[in-house]
Amino acid sequence: MNWYLVWIIAFLLLLLGISVWSSKKVHTADDYVMADFSLGFFPICGSVIATVTGSAALIGGAGKGFEMGISYFITGIGFVSFTIVSMLVMGPAIRRLRLYTVPELFTRRFGKLAALLPAIIIGFLYMTPTFGMQLVGMGSILASITQVPVVWGIALGFLVTTAFTLVGGMPSVAWTDAIQTVVILAGVVLTLVLGLSHVGGAAAVVESTPKHLLTFGSIGPMELFNWFLIFGPFYLVWQTTWQRLTAAKSQRVGISAVVTGFIISGVIGLLAIFIGIAAVQEFPADTAPDLIYTSFITEVFPGSIGGLFMVSLLAALLTGATSFLLSGAINVSKDIYQGWFNPTADDQRILRVSRLSVGAMSVLGLGIALWIKDIIAIYQVALSFTASALVMPVLAAMFWERATKSGVIASMVGALVVSLGWQAAGQPFGLHEIGPGLATSAIVLVVVSLMTRHSDDETVTAYYYAFRNEPRSEKVRTPEGSLARTET
């Protein structure tokens, strides 16, 4: 009996049941994309953990632990610290604005034109490639436990995640994420504990592992700085976090659940790195990094136990894929379709467009998955260019009233051009392109804003200070004249 397939089929049937049950709650677009703003601590926290600990954290993290060792944990320090700061500082403003997406902040503060580029960047440059990244992970899992080629595994993952997201929307994503979090935690912890025992124990691993893998900073200060930049600033503008905060039933629940979820995610990422270090004792140095996690499970454990651990990995990949699809679909339906093509679209039309967007983005993600097989390479590109273009404009919307539409648009374009040019030049001085991109974005934003005037469709404010100084019941008027809900 192939226990791997037994566990995985049972897991998929469970998720299918939850998805069908959740679909009965989806009657409006808000139900589909935001669970009608009613999620509690457990589904929010679980959804954050399950989404963050996808293929980059587990498959990629174990592979980098195998290659780089403990130094790779600089990425965990980056995304956890930036998320905690952003939630504690900007979280109340994000929550009170009731933002569906990051581009919606641009629309309210700088006008509709300024939001178009962020919507394209997030929907297609970040969400779609990262969905494809999860498909690569699923293909690797199926290839490691069956005779199915990786390409067919990717195709099967595409079908399952697309159907799951189309049917249930945010209610099914959030609750299945919460359930999968338990499976992910159990799988990672048991894989590490039993894996260490298999290779001779922690003491034997410390004794026989090359010292540079156990020395934080052995990769050098520039590489540490690069990895911190790649995984740090981006999480100030990670749309998935903003959406989970907005979907929570209260501000306190949302912020506490997100912060808790990221701290636990950082711990899971560290455990994945340790799994990669333990695997050094088991596999030759030329083993492909993306195969370390799955190969370690299949080599070390019998199918009856390994199947459960493989399910934990599949859980992480599936939940990441569904979250990225749903999040990107909101950009297409709300920011692009409703914002530019049909501003008067009713709720049912937005719901249909959201589901059509899920289907279209999943097909694009499938193409990316079939084209690029390196998980961390995909994620680096998605994070780098998104952060370079969006971090400074978002900070300006929150903290700098003098920022103008012209300054923000010039800032985003300049950051993308410099980042692409820096990458094409081979990263001079060993500095990753996100550094010059962020610097260019900041300089251009300030200079152009000081040289230009506010446009008529701007809301001239700094939201952080506006909400800090106003009563909690105050409502913020958008450029179109509608009122943003601000209950906390």
pLDDT of residue 314: 77
Res. 395: pLDDT tops 90: yes
Q: Among candidates 3, 49, 114, which has minimal Cα distance to 260?
A: 49
Residue with tokens 């913020």: 476
Domains of the chain: 3-386 (1.20.1730.10)
Average pLDDT over residues 64-84: 95
Instruction: Give the model confidence (pLDDT) of 289-313 as tens digits.
Output: 878 888 888 877 777 777 777 776 7
Res. 1: pLDDT tops 70: no
Residue with tokens 């390196």: 374
What distance, in Å, lies between the first and last C-alpha atoms of the chain?
Answer: 53
- Asked whether 393 and 408 are in contact (CB, 8 A), the reply is yes
d(CA 416, CA 488): 36
Q: How confident is the model at residue 128 (pLDDT cuts 50, 70, 90)?
A: confident
Instruction: Give the model confidence (pLDDT) of 14-72 as tens digits.
Output: 777 766 766 666 555 555 555 555 678 888 888 788 778 876 788 889 999 999 999 99
pLDDT of residue 333: 80
Q: Judging by DSSP bridges, how do beta strands 483-484 and 476-477 pair with one another?
A: antiparallel
pLDDT of residue 211: 93
- Residue 352 burial (CB < 10 Å; 0-12/13-18/19+)? middle
Residue type, 453: R
- Asked whether 231 and 380 are in contact (CB, 8 A), the reply is no
* Residue 127 vs residue 415, higher pLDDT: 415
- Asked whether 119 and 328 are in contact (CB, 8 A), the reply is no
pLDDT above 90 covers a percentage of the chain that reads: 36
Res. 106: pLDDT tops 70: yes
pLDDT of residue 176: 65
- Residue 426 burial (CB < 10 Å; 0-12/13-18/19+)? exposed
Q: How confident is the model at residue 478 (pLDDT cuts 50, 70, 90)?
A: very low
- Asked whether 213 and 277 are in contact (CB, 8 A), the reply is yes
pLDDT of residue 481: 39
| pTM reported for the whole predicted model | 0.82
pLDDT of residue 444: 98
Average pLDDT over residues 121-148: 80
Nearest-10 crossing angle of helices 375-399, 112-120: 160
